[in-house]
Amino acid sequence: MKFAGLLDSGGDVKEAIIDGFVTVNGEVDRRRGRQLQHDDVVVFGGRGARVRP
């Protein structure tokens, strides 16, 4: 999320995930260590990013 520009810092990413503000493929996921797959869509604050190879 930091790399995609959705949040500014790793700490912000951690808080957003723990607080349930992040969705992966339309579902809230509170796991910080989740391994994303190609074509997964991560959304925060109305902005999203698709994982590309």
CATH code where residue 21 lies: 3.10.290.10
Q: CA separation (Å) from 1 to 9, 15, 29, 44?
A: 9, 12, 13, 9
DSSP assignment, residue 32? T
Q: Please tell me which residue, 34 or 19, carries the higher pLDDT value.
A: 19
Q: Number of C-alpha atoms within 13 angstroms, CB side, residue 49?
A: 15
Residue 1, pLDDT score: 86
**What is the extent of the structural domain holding 26?**
10-50
Average pLDDT, the chain: 94
Residue 42, pLDDT score: 95
Mean pLDDT of 36-46: 95
Q: CA separation (Å) from 28 to 11, 52, 53?
A: 18, 20, 23
For residue 3, tell me if it sits in a domain. Answer: no
Residue 53, pLDDT score: 87
For residue 2, tell me if it sits in a domain. Answer: no
For residue 37, tell me if it sits in a domain. Answer: yes
Please count the structural domains in the chain: 1
Give the pTM: 0.85
Distance CA 19, CA 32 (A): 11
Per-residue confidence band for 23, with pLDDT thresholds at 50, 70 and 90? very high
